[in-house]
Structure 1
Amino acid sequence: MDIAFDRDHIWHPYTSTLHPLTCYPVSHAEGVHLYLEDGTALIDGMSSWWAAIHGYNHPVLNQAVTDQLSKMSHVMFGGITHEPAIALCKKLVEMTPQALEKVFLCDSGSISVEVALKMALQYWHAVGSPRAKFLTLRHGYHGDSFAAMSVTDPDNSMHKLYKGFLPEHIFADSPECGFFDEWVEEDISDFTSKLADNADQIAAVILEPIVQGAGGMRLYHPTFLKRVRELCDEFGVLLICDEIATGFGRTGKLFACEHAGITPDILCLGKALTGGYMTMAATLTTEHVANTVCGGEAGCFMHGPTFMGNPLASAVANASLSLLQQTPWQEKVAAIEANFAEILPPLKQLDCVKSVRWLGAIGVVETHTAVDVEKIQRHFVERGVWIRPFGKLVYVMPPYDISTAQLRQLVEAIESGLKSVM
């Protein structure tokens, strides 16, 4: 593998071309392991950015791709349909909250958010009351494309340098009550006042339910989400839930919205949708929203990705969701959570650690100062694990099939890494 060419010519995500981070050459993957070119086996604590929930090289998913490849890899979705997309959308309608009956397939999580925002804008245009603002939360993250960046925290995120170039939306204080804390009603006050003061300008509220991901790995109280739904109903504002990171079991519920017993008007899904095999996302909405959008001046929804409904991606997504339904994922995720509850709290004794938190198959260690990614990544590889920290956060979101011993190896590597690097 030509690592020198990679270093000199390939621009990796969130990496400087002036001082690129080390890239480790992976030759293949199996189960919960990534294998480097030299044969080193690494327990993957990241599920390839939270997508590979079933692990790697899964025979069921491999077969789904192989079977579909022999029929057709891609056809345009405009004026054409096919069984893989129909089967997938049928499954999504069955799995998601009952009111979500219309499925728009798209390319990636960021584009799912773009689609949701466009739906909300076109909805209000269709009813004759155009609105151009969105209300969202500080410390939120919704993707790297332009509209998605505009509803990502402009001051506390990786996108703050784009402030002034993006549309300016309304940001409420993010919740302070943790998932397992006692609820304090004051936690919703800033959101309430922001919504009340700007309701006639707001097309929709958009937030990540229960878990704010790349904006800080914050886990908040379900009652906050319940109050948001109530307030959106009270002020007649649409609610968009971005479940790209949390969907398909990651928090211990199939969808994080279930922790609060609420249904959004628009739901964004991605990442684990295809089990980490191919890029694909979906935006679901209610019949009312869809029909209102299409009843306006345009007569349809003005969006159509080239690879919308890609048959290969649809086939493997359908297989991944079937696999999830047929396996005891709830027990697996509950076991991961129970292990986190036991093995993460001792890390609070380290001077460099500010806090630890966990929910479902998400475990987070937050430090007082930013970690040196190059140094700690090298330590992790030497310890036989793959963990990719960012900022002050060292976290793991492993495949659901990880064993207790493997999970403990991940956390032990975090502990030893922080001791040696911080």
Structure 2
Amino acid sequence: MTALEFDAQNLWHPYTNVLNPGPMHLITEADGVWLTREDGTRMIDAMSSWWCAVHGHRHPAITAAMQAQLQQMPHVMFGGLTHNPAIELGRTLVDLLPDGLDRIFYSDSGSVAIEVALKMAVQYQMALGNTGRTQFATIRGGYHGDTWKAMSVCDPVNGMHGLFSGALSIQHFLPRPPISFDEDWTDDSSLNGLDALEELLEDKADQIAALILEPVVQGAGGMYFYHPKWLMRAQELCKAHDVLVIFDEIATGFGRTGELFAMQHAGVVPDIVCLGKALTGGHITLSATVATEMVARRIGESEAGVLMHGPTYMANPLACAAALASLNQLSVRDWRAEVDGIAEQMKQELAPARDLPGVADVRVLGAIGVIEMEQWVDPSVAHSLAPETGVWLRPFARNIYCMPPFIISADELSRVTAAMVSLVRGMS
């Protein structure tokens, strides 16, 4: 039995039908922006391996840091013990994040970081005596992970987890902010979509612990870019009703949108922020839930006294070392110029898709390029064409998109955009 035959019969891949898994590529090496298949052909990883490999694969500085840490201490429990990689990473995150976000809880995946944030919000409200505030508000089109509570705040109709809607906690879903990132803003709440939040908070704030959302960019929920001023007004409304604000920056953090954090497009600082994906440059899994001192202190002063969560691999030293090396790349390289260059090139090279049949929209923000189709896109078509085009794309729903590594060259990026437009032409 070949490796791919065993894979097809025994391994379960994400969002894949085990009876009909579709095309599968056996990757033997990853380096820079390139993935190498078992037959030696190469493909540009236009997905940054689900948006995390911002510095490219097998970055020498990150792998060196991991190798050094591996020789010293791959792992040690974080309960009652600490270590320098966790401390130094914490110092770096506090310096990078907007002022006020300075209490860091490490965990081992983005979805778990969301679970931790939701727990923080509920425990915070309980510490204030608001025992009825156990529910959450969010906006439609959002995605926050695949673990149980995180699924409950993903879009219940068009999201990935509609199948489980009857088994999940019922949350409060608001209309997606209707004004897109580049459109003119209006303060008329009936037009900017904030009227629904106003009404919800007036009626049910005593049931809501927090508002959770992805700032500015909705990722797996549809690659929609909405106006930053919506966040500013939403935070004001939540503060007036003692509802916490949680930002999910797992996909958007560390430069992807053109700002270091997407919240900086709006100049808004949440009560809690979740980080992951690019935190380690895609070399190993790690996430962080970062809260304000107000949230942490209130939980510490409560009857429970402690946050009721503790992952086994919390603050894994190997992952913390990788994260430190990854974040150092953001200081030694001009990542902003890299992202700006990617954005300008994608705007020019994806523009022809606007005039093709079946295209609903073309949009770019930072190092995110999207061709939205009017109909559902079959990802297996892109998967089958990858060896021919030399570009690995993974469309979802109606979106053909890319999130390339920041280090991608202009020629390599042109191959990516050409593959995206070619895929559209093939659907016509």
TM-score (norm. length: structure 1): 0.98
* Residue in structure 1 matched with residue 295 of structure 2 by the alignment: 289
Q: What's the secondary structure of 1:94's corresponding residue?
A: helix
* Residue in structure 2 matched with residue 412 of structure 1 by the alignment: 418
Q: What's the secondary structure of 1:365's corresponding residue?
A: strand
Q: For the residues of structure 2 that align with 1:390 and 1:102, how far apart are their CA atoms?
A: 35
Counterparts of 1:75-94 in structure 2, within 5 Å, are 75-94=76-95
Deviation, 1:391, is: 1.3
* Residue in structure 1 matched with residue 127 of structure 2 by the alignment: 126
Residues 289-335 of structure 1, C-alpha deviations (whole Å, 9 max, x = no match): 00101211111111000000101000010110011111100000001
Deviates more, 1:337-346 or 1:37-46: 337-346
Does residue 166 (structure 1) correspond to residue 168 (structure 2)? The answer is yes
Deviation, 1:144, is: 0.3
Counterparts of 1:309-388 in structure 2, within 5 Å, are 309-388=315-394
Q: For the residues of structure 1 that align with 2:254 and 2:39, how far apart are their CA atoms?
A: 34
Deviation, 1:191, is: 2.2
* Residue in structure 1 matched with residue 403 of structure 2 by the alignment: 397
Instruction: Pick the aligned partner of 2:281 from 270, 275, 278.
Output: 275
Residues 55-74 of structure 1, C-alpha deviations (whole Å, 9 max, x = no match): 01111001000100000111
Q: What's the secondary structure of 2:247's corresponding residue?
A: strand
Residues 355-396 of structure 1, C-alpha deviations (whole Å, 9 max, x = no match): 111100000111111112112221233110011111111100
Counterparts of 1:103-252 in structure 2, within 5 Å, are 103-130=104-131, 131-185=133-187, 186-187=191-192, 188-252=194-258
Q: For the residues of structure 2 that align with 1:250 and 1:302, how far apart are their CA atoms?
A: 32
Q: What's the secondary structure of 2:19's corresponding residue?
A: coil
Residue type of the partner of 2:323?
A: A
Residue type of the partner of 1:232?
A: C
Counterparts of 1:298-313 in structure 2, within 5 Å, are 298-313=304-319
Residue type of the partner of 1:5?
A: F
Residue type of the partner of 1:127?
A: L
Q: For the residues of structure 2 that align with 1:18 and 1:59, how far apart are their CA atoms?
A: 39
Q: For the residues of structure 1 that align with 2:224 and 2:330, how far apart are their CA atoms?
A: 26
Deviation, 1:41, is: 1.2
Q: For the residues of structure 1 that align with 2:338 and 2:110, how far apart are their CA atoms?
A: 25
Residue type of the partner of 2:400?
A: V
TM-score (norm. length: structure 2): 0.97
Q: For the residues of structure 2 that align with 1:405 and 1:239, how far apart are their CA atoms?
A: 41
Deviation, 1:30, is: 1.1
Residue type of the partner of 1:14?
A: Y
- The root-mean-square deviation of aligned C-alpha atoms, in Å, is 1.0
Deviation, 1:195, is: 2.3
**CA contact under 8 A between 1:372 and 1:421: conserved in structure 2?**
no
* Residue in structure 2 matched with residue 261 of structure 1 by the alignment: 267
* Residue in structure 2 matched with residue 26 of structure 1 by the alignment: 27
Q: What's the secondary structure of 1:11's corresponding residue?
A: coil
Q: For the residues of structure 2 that align with 1:381 and 1:182, how far apart are their CA atoms?
A: 42
Q: For the residues of structure 2 that align with 1:394 and 1:136, how far apart are their CA atoms?
A: 25
Aligned length: 422
Residue type of the partner of 2:273?
A: L
Residue type of the partner of 1:57?
A: R
Deviation, 1:184, is: 2.7
Deviation, 1:26, is: 0.6
**CA contact under 8 A between 2:382 and 2:394: conserved in structure 1?**
no
Q: What's the secondary structure of 1:309's corresponding residue?
A: coil
Unaligned stretches of 5+ in structure 1? none
Deviates more, 1:398-407 or 1:186-195: 186-195
Does residue 101 (structure 1) correspond to residue 102 (structure 2)? The answer is yes
Residue type of the partner of 2:293?
A: E
**CA contact under 8 A between 1:376 and 1:418: conserved in structure 2?**
no
Q: What's the secondary structure of 1:70's corresponding residue?
A: helix
Q: What's the secondary structure of 1:344's corresponding residue?
A: helix
* Residue in structure 2 matched with residue 6 of structure 1 by the alignment: 7
Q: For the residues of structure 1 that align with 2:269 and 2:393, how far apart are their CA atoms?
A: 33
Residue type of the partner of 2:385?
A: H
Q: What's the secondary structure of 1:167's corresponding residue?
A: coil
Q: For the residues of structure 2 that align with 1:308 and 1:411, how far apart are their CA atoms?
A: 39
Deviation, 1:416, is: 1.2
Residues 82-106 of structure 1, C-alpha deviations (whole Å, 9 max, x = no match): 0100000111111101101100000
* Residue in structure 1 matched with residue 46 of structure 2 by the alignment: 45
Q: For the residues of structure 2 that align with 1:133 and 1:175, how far apart are their CA atoms?
A: 21
**CA contact under 8 A between 2:350 and 2:421: conserved in structure 1?**
no
Residues 212-265 of structure 1, C-alpha deviations (whole Å, 9 max, x = no match): 110010000111111111111122210000000000000000000000001000
Deviation, 1:198, is: 1.4
Residue type of the partner of 1:154?
A: P
% identity of equivalent residues: 50
